[in-house]
Every structure is written in C-alpha cells, then in structure tokens.
Amino acid sequence: MTAAPARPPQAAPRRRVPLRLLLVAGVVLLTVGVLAVAGLQGSLVYYRTTSELLADPALQGERVRLGGLVVRGTVETTADGVRFELTDGVQDVPVVNTGQPRGVFQEGQGAVVEGVLGADGVFRSDVLLVKHDNEYRPPEDGTGRPAEDRG
C-alpha cells in the first residue's frame, strides 16, 4: 500500500450507500443471470441429439456436436480412426471419427462427437468425447476387481 493523502472527515450520509450499491449489484447480476440463462438454453446446448440433427437441414454442413448412445455391434476400427453409429433410440447416424477414441469409449455407452454432417448422411468428426451416466456399480464378475485392474 502506498501513502494516501489524509481523507476529509466523513460527513456524507452513510445510509444511502448500501441501498445504491445493492440496486446496482442487483441490476448487474440480474442482467448477467438473464444473459446466462438465455445463452445456455439457446446456443450453449452442449450437443444435439441425432433426431434434432436430422430434423434441422440448416445444421447440415455446419460444425456441431452430436451426442447419443454408441449402437452395439457397429464399432469398427479404420485406418485413421473409428467408425460407429450413434442413436437417440429413434434415429441412427453413422459417424466416422478421425483419431482413436480416448476415454472409456465402448458400445452401448454415451458419446459426443464434434464435426460436420455430410450430404451423404455420414457425420465426420475429429473430436470424440465419452459421456457416462451417474450410476456407479462394481464390475459384472462380482469380485470388485476388473480383469485389467492395475493402474
């Protein structure tokens, strides 16, 4: 802290400050809150479902995130990545991802990919994230120790 000049004695009425301050803070936070809610509900939906993507032709050719469950039996490793289908239970979308999946990617689990839906109906992505649910349970074999348990 540096030296400050001596302040004049405080003669100002002290009651008005908090009210004004509260009003300003209230208006600011309300604005931020309204913007946040509007923004998050509109443009910041983290991903679209397969049905939403297919129902909105404006999204074709746009870079979007697409989320869904990885359809069992569709996962294939390709030369430069992985190919699979995503579903929301109604519509399936074939996905070709560049790059091997990280995270706990597996069939029947959730995944979110980032890329572009082509005119051929194939979604080409280069970001693959895994979405897991909020249920926690031990591995199926009942020992509480999965086979690869080390690390």
Partner 1 sequence: MATTTTRSRRTDRLLAAATVLAAGAAAVLALLVAPPDAVQGQPQRLMYVHVPAAWLAYLSFAAVLVASVAHLVTRDLRWDRRARAAAELGVGMTALAIALGSIWGRPVWGAWWVWDPRLVTTVVLLLVYLGHLSVRGLGDDPATGARRAAAVGVIGFVNVPVVHFSVVWWRTLHQPASVLSPDPAPMDPRMATALGVAVLAFTLAGVLVVRRRLRVLAAAGPAEPAPAPLPSPVTGPLVVTPRIRP
Binding status of residue 17 toward partner 1 by CB under 8 A: yes
Residue 60: CA atoms inside 13 Å, Cβ hemisphere, count? 11
Determine phi and psi for 143, rounding to 5 degrees. -80, -15
Stretch that binds partner 1, among 75-83, 90-98, 105-113, 117-125 (CB under 8 A): 105-113
Stretch that binds partner 1, among 13-21, 77-85, 88-96, 116-124 (CB under 8 A): 13-21
- Beta strand 110-117 pairing with 81-87: unpaired
Binding status of residue 116 toward partner 1 by CB under 8 A: no
Rounded Cα distance, 110 and 62, in Å? 22
Interface characters, 45-74, with partner 1 (x: CB under 8 A): xxx-------------------x-------
Closer residue to partner 1, CB minimum distance, 45 or 121: 45
Amino acid 24 reads: V
Closer residue to partner 1, CB minimum distance, 78 or 143: 143
Tell me which residue of 47, 108, 44, 41 sits closest to 73, measured CA to CA. 108
Amino acid 43 reads: S
**Token pair in block for residue 57:** 């032709």
N-term to C-term CA, the chain: 51
Determine phi and psi for 36, rounding to 5 degrees. -65, -45
Binding status of residue 128 toward partner 1 by CB under 8 A: yes
Closer residue to partner 1, CB minimum distance, 18 or 121: 18
Size of the site for partner 1 (CB under 8 A): 51
Binding residues for partner 1, rule: CB under 8 A, are 1, 3-7, 10, 17-18, 21-22, 25-26, 29, 33, 36, 40-41, 44-47, 67, 101-106, 109, 112, 127-140, 144-146, 148-149, 151
